[in-house]
Homo-oligomer: A and B are copies of this chain.
Amino acid sequence: MQEKIKVAVDAMGGDNAPVEPIKAAVEAVNENPDIKVVLVGKEDVIQNELKKYTYDPQNIEIAHASEVIETGEPPVNAIRRKKDSSIVVGMNMVKRGEADAIISSGSTGAVLVGGQLIVGRIRGIERPPLAPLIPTEKGVSLLIDCGANVDARSSHLVQFARMGSIYMENVVGIKNPRVGLVNIGAEEEKGNALVKETYPLLKECKDINFIGNVEARDIPAGVCDVIVCEAFVGNVILKLYEGTASALVHQIKKGMMSTLRSKIGALLVKPALKTTLKTFDATQYGGAPMLGLKGLVVKTHGSATSKEIKHAIFQCTQFSKERINEKIKEHILEETN
């Protein structure tokens, strides 16, 4: 029998904890027999919640953690002091090889700091980026980095491009993924100091499919598969994407309710519209992996429901099966040789 992939899930993190992470764990193991989930958090709370469900108890374990890191806490302090928090306990399991991956909807800062300090970087990786999949008209693109690595250097961006390509090819299944550098114009000479320095370096990379600069305008249309940028810009892209979509949908709904005629029309278009908007729903695609660490760390939205967390669990399975970290190590070794 093949060994199961073991995914630790922070049962205490996020707005909907413990209900949604625990529901996700049960659904994941019930749908996929290759997965074992370790729920990390307060044992009594988790056990109580688990009573609601039917599942094979061999597939869900509990790892007790008495503390919880709150969203507002300064991340470095929280990770250092709350040794028995669900995030720290879960990350230590990944570090010791007791779990293949950890998923948390808790404090983004704590997840990023914990990933670096506890799980640790792969040798040769300068900065581990946070890389969510964002929906586009053509499918999904990987936005890398939108994590905590502000004020990045060009060498970081080159590693992001490489790691992102490996992820998109092996986890998402896009052959020869197109890599674009976010810039304020399409021409090579455009941009700030960072992108001007990064462009020629990416052009030289033989192992990626660099298509040049991409403008933010073309991202939603799916102009490339791996969107390379530094974290500040990536964060702005991710959040504006969510904000614009939600404001527009809100306005459209309001518009449809404005006249009797349009109200009747709204009833008729509703089912078709729901299907459409689903494709623009980020939660379909699971969480954001933090790449370049010795184990897999996945951040799900603070507001994640069981659907998103379950998708993230499946994503971790794919990541382990495809031996992504081994592939990243090989590429980095090549680069430094």
> Which A residues have a C-beta under 8 Å from some C-beta of B?
136-137, 150-151, 182, 184, 191-193, 215-221, 231-233, 235-252, 254-256, 258-259, 261-262, 264-273, 275-277, 279-280
Closest beta carbon of chain B to A193's beta carbon, Å: 6
Q: Known contacts being A247-B136, A261-B272, A272-B258, is A192 close to B242, with CB within 8 Å? A: no
Please determine whether B245 and A219 come into contact, CB atoms closer than 8 angstroms. no
Q: Which chain B residue shows the least CB distance to A149? A: B192
- Give the complex CA separation of A279 and B235 in angstroms: 26
Interface contacts beyond A220-B244, A252-B276: sample of 16 additional A-B pairs, CB < 8 Å, sorted by A? A136-B247, A191-B232, A217-B243, A220-B240, A220-B243, A240-B244, A244-B245, A248-B280, A251-B280, A259-B271, A261-B269, A262-B268, A262-B269, A262-B272, A265-B268, A266-B268
Contact partners of A235 in chain B: CB under 8 A: 184, 216
Please determine whether B215 and A239 come into contact, CB atoms closer than 8 angstroms. yes
The binding surface of chain A is classed by DSSP as helix
- Give the complex CA separation of A244 and B218 in angstroms: 9
Q: Known contacts being A272-B256, A273-B262, is A184 close to B242, with CB within 8 Å? A: no
- Of B192, B239, B246, B250, the residue contacting A232 (CB under 8 A) is B192
Please determine whether B217 and A240 come into contact, CB atoms closer than 8 angstroms. yes
> When A and B form their complex, which 7 residue pairs have the shortest distance between CB atoms, in order from nearest?
A265-B268, A255-B276, A220-B247, A262-B272, A265-B269, A217-B239, A150-B192
Q: Which chain B residue shows the least CB distance to A108? A: B185
Highest count of chain B CB atoms <10 Å: which of A217, A269, A280: A269
* 27 A-B pairs in the complex with CB atoms less than 8 angstroms apart: A137-B250, A137-B251, A151-B192, A191-B232, A215-B239, A216-B239, A216-B240, A216-B243, A217-B243, A220-B243, A220-B244, A220-B246, A220-B247, A220-B248, A236-B236, A240-B241, A244-B244, A244-B245, A251-B276, A252-B252, A252-B277, A254-B276, A256-B272, A258-B272, A261-B272, A265-B266, A268-B268
Q: Which chain B residue shows the least CB distance to A261? A: B268
Contact partners of A244 in chain B: CB under 8 A: 220, 240-241, 244-245, 248
- Give the complex CA separation of A249 and B243 in angstroms: 15
